[in-house]
Amino acid sequence: MSSLSSPSDRFEALSAAERWMSDARRIAEVPGGLVQSKIDMTHAKASLQRLRDAGLPATFAHLIVRAVAIALARNPNLYQTVCGYERVVTAKVDIGLSMTGLDATIPLVVSDADQKTLPALVGAVEDAIEAARSREARLRRLVWRLPFGFLRRWLLRRWYATFSSRRRLAGTLEVTCDSNADVVVPLRFYTDAVIAAGRVRDAVVVLDGEPTIRPMAWLTLCVDHVAMDGMRGAALMRAVKEVLEGEELIAEAGGAGPPEGAQA
């Protein structure tokens, strides 16, 4: 009787883009604090349905990106970026995005997210995916010019030390959405703050003294305390919560037209 062979370990080299991301995580700081809030996604769910009825491949991630962009644009003093002993209160909202099912290794950057309505944002994310793929191709070429990790980390630190490079590579603020978990808490990121969202699931909540079932989601804001304190963080989360729980996104989603090529 022949014996079964035991499985052996498999060793694989990281891709060029994965090497850059690994080096970037090594130089990123661990956050100094976090703020969490539970969000009623009833209106967000209605907004998502309107977008899908219009034929747009929208997800809750698009709604969260839009809500964060609106909150930042309306409350610019709540978020600032610090490099060395300088800080900037940005007037431009570029969101760095990572989410479940994303076909890209490096983060997307959705430019001018505060200037795009929900329907336009869906298309902007698709454009950002294509741009990220092009950046990955450039990184594959560049990795062979910088074959050693310490050289890549030196270059990344140089990039990270300037406002313009940080915004171009990771955005003004990062958003990450993972539908595989209830609560997501990133411990390394490339901007001075990240807002993370878990999956949306039905839960029993009390409204007006009566139990009811609502779609709920946990949002977590992780911050670098050098750039943001807890009071600013809590205020920013409250602003995002107000947008997601209000009817503004429903109105934006209602402006979505039929998919291209559809019959009127």
Q: What is the pLDDT at residue 259?
A: 39
Joined tokens for residue 192: 């001075």
Q: What is the pLDDT at residue 104?
A: 66
Compute the distance between CA of residue 50 and CA of residue 207 in angstroms, rounded to an integer: 25
Q: What is the pLDDT at residue 195?
A: 96
In terms of phi and psi (left: phi > 0; alpha: psi -120 to 50; beta: otherwise), the region of 104 is: beta
Q: What is the pLDDT at residue 42?
A: 96
Question: Do 214 and 205 form a contact (C-beta atoms < 8 A)?
Answer: yes
Tell me how far CA of residue 112 lies from CA of 121, 212, 264, in angstroms. 10, 38, 31
Average pLDDT over residues 25-42: 86
Q: What is the pLDDT at residue 3?
A: 59
pTM score: 0.84
Residue 256 has pLDDT above 70, yes or no: no
Q: To the nearest whole number, what is the mean pLDDT of the chain?
A: 85
Q: What is the pLDDT at residue 123?
A: 92
- Confidence tier at 258 by pLDDT (50, 70, 90): very low
Residue 103 has pLDDT above 70, yes or no: no
Average pLDDT over residues 223-250: 91
Give the distance, in angstroms, between the CA of residue 165 and the centroid of all CA atoms in the same chain.
18
- Least confident among 19-23, 42-46, 59-63, 251-255: 19-23
Compute the distance between CA of residue 157 and CA of residue 25 in angstroms, rounded to an integer: 11
Q: What is the pLDDT at residue 1?
A: 52
**Cα Rg of the chain (Å, integer):** 20
| Superfamily classification of domain 16-253 | Chloramphenicol acetyltransferase-like domain (3.30.559.10)
pLDDT tens for 111-145 read: 999 999 999 999 999 899 888 888 777 777 776 67
